Amino acid sequence: METILSYLKHRFGYDNTDRGFYRTMEEWERWYAGKGTDFHRTRVNNGISVVEHSLSKMNMAKKVSEDWADLLLNEKTRMNASSPEANAFLEHVLQENDFWTRINRLAEQAFALGTGAVVLRLEQARVDGNEALLPSPEGVIRMEFVTAPNIIPLSWQGDRVSEAAFAGNLTRNGERMTYLQIHRMEEGQYVIHSVCFSDRTGKIVPLPEGICPTLRTGSAVPWFFLIRPNIVNNLTDLPLGISVFANSLDVLKGLDLCYDSFDMEFYLGKKMVFLRKDLMARDGDGNLFAPQDCNRQLFMYIGDKNVDGDLLPQEFNPALRVKDHADAIRQHLNYLSCKCGLGDRYYRFDENTSPATATEVASNDAALFRSVRKHEILLEQALKQMARSLLFLGKTILGAVPDEETDVSVRFEDSIVEDRTAEQKRDMEMVSLGLFLPWEFRMKYYGESEETAKERCKEMTKL
């Protein structure tokens, strides 16, 4: 990171990065990866010596991030363009880049680390002598998915980032390198500068084949798009997001503390039997063994001693505090889900509890529904902006789209927190009562643009 920041400062004059915030990201990353923190490594004096103990972890930071990604960008999320040609082009590019699978993973990492980015790259592009991008019908659009530690905002206004740098790792001939892309505005148009550093020496090395050191896109449309949780970052002024569990680290610690105690309860609470050496025998190697050992003799000779209470084995059966620990873990999970925007009791582990329907979830946990809707606002903006840039490239560079000025809609699948069938039935009744227009219904449930929905409704009335 220091090599990159030094290069940005001396090459372009950028020096506005909050290094402390990136160190905070490293802590979130440890929680997300389940690597453990200083909190999880303890030293305990057992009265004889000091022993090290590593707390057991539930790794709920990973689980919370997974659940948010699945709630927002699942297999039923769709993006549609009103123009059939534009829609076919978008579907082709997204499929070629395995977009929906990778954007779900990026959303998980973005909610864990605060920010994620999709960066467009054009392979087999043609450029002129002035490094300007030329029409390239044979060009191929590739997408890079970048996580927060590798995103460096350079210029911004409010939350809108206009210039940024993105780092990535690559290996060439066994040598690890860092590949850096800088997207900056020059004379109202985006110029992409690329540079490569050796991880071993920190020095600039030649770029991989096919990558231009400078690419003048000739467009004011950005080739990068940020996604982040729609919550205020209360740790920095940088236009980066904040981890969804950033303000819940104490709850995560309490949860792991309860789980570790629960784990140790069974480890230390094993049944034990105390017996005197008089009741033990020795095997052929002189090792003592108890008569109850598996594959050993069931009876043994103990001489002429009287069998009294002092000679009989004594059992130790400690009471296990299962319910107390389960209640504590359950309560901490409630705290965690509430603080991470999932509402109360999102993680239900109560006994004899039947699965809740989507209607019950929506009515009993309105906080989750509101949070989902709030996060969808920023996601929809980013996806629409990305679609606009893809259509621009499709028309001006690839010649695959006749018109880039087409309506684009994003449809999220909210049936996890909202009974989609019940809502659709209700809206159909509103259409029949004249309170909801048919084209509005098509826009909502079929993801069509206003123009397309109205045209389809007209066609239906002619039948």
214-232 pLDDT tens trace: 999 988 999 999 999 999 9
The answer, yes or no, to whether residue 116 has pLDDT greater than 50, is yes
Query: How many angstroms separate the CA atoms of 116 and 107, rounded?
Result: 7
Retrieve residue 40's tokens: 């999880």
| Contact in structure between 37 and 61 (CB atoms under 8 Å) | no
SS3 158: coil
Q: How far is CA 23 from CA 9, 109, 415, in A?
A: 19, 16, 38
Give 294's DSSP letter.
T
What is the pLDDT, as a whole number, of residue 418?
55
The two tokens of residue 443 are 């826009």
CA neighbor of 225 nearest in space, from 76, 322, 360, 115: 115
d(CA 149, CA 329): 32
Q: Is 203 helix (H, G, I), strand (E, B) or coil?
A: coil
User: Is the dihedral angle over the CA atoms 445, 449, 454, 456 positive or is it negative?
Assistant: negative
| AA letter at 145 | F
Task: Report the pLDDT value the prediction gives residue 297, as an integer from 0 to 100.
Answer: 45
Hey, what are 333's tokens? 């999970």
332: exposed, middle or buried (Cβ count in 10 Å: 0-12, 13-18, 19+): buried
Dihedral sign (CA 245, 375, 239, 32): positive
Tokens of 355: 């699965």
Give which of 256, 308, 320, 243 is closest to 279, Cα–Cα.
308
Structure tokens at 168: 């990535």
Where exactly are the structural domains of the chain?
A: 2-244+370-418, 248-364, 419-463
pTM: 0.80
CB 62: neighbour CB atoms within 10 A? 17
Residues near 420 by beta carbon (within 8 Å), at least 6 away in sequence = 358, 413, 414
Q: Tell me how crowded residue 411 is: count the other CB atoms within 10 A of its CB.
A: 17
DSSP H or E stretch at residue 454: helix 450-462
Two tokens, residue 365: 């946990």
- pLDDT the model gives residue 233: 94
So what's the pLDDT on residue 301? Answer: 47
**Span 41-63, pLDDT tens digits:** 888 776 777 878 888 899 999 99
Task: Give burial (CB, 10 Å; 0-12/13-18/19+) of 57.
Answer: buried
Structure tokens at 446: 């079929």
Tokens of 350: 């109560």
User: CA separation (Å) from 105 to 93, 112, 116, 146?
Assistant: 18, 11, 10, 11
Residues 395-405 have pLDDT tens digits of 999 988 877 77
Q: What is the mean pLDDT of the chain?
A: 84
Q: Given pLDDT bands bounded at 50, 70 and 90, which one contains residue 421?
A: low
Query: Which residue matches tokens 């030293």?
Result: 43
Cβ atoms of residues 215 and 131 within 8 Å: yes
pLDDT at 416: 56
**What is the Cα–Cα distance from 447 to 87, expressed in whole angstroms?**
12
Tokens of 23: 């160190």
Q: Where are the alpha helices (DSSP H) in 73-174?
A: 84-96, 99-113
At residue 379, the pLDDT reads: 94
What letter represents residue 177's amino acid?
M
Q: How confident is the model over 407-422, as a mean pLDDT?
A: 71
pLDDT at 109 (0 to 100): 97
pLDDT tens sequence across 300-335? 444 445 555 555 666 666 777 888 888 899 999 999
Burial 146-160 (b: 16+ CB within 10 A, else e): bbbbbbbbbebeeee
Q: Which of 55, 43, 60, 49 is nearest to 267 (CA)?
A: 55
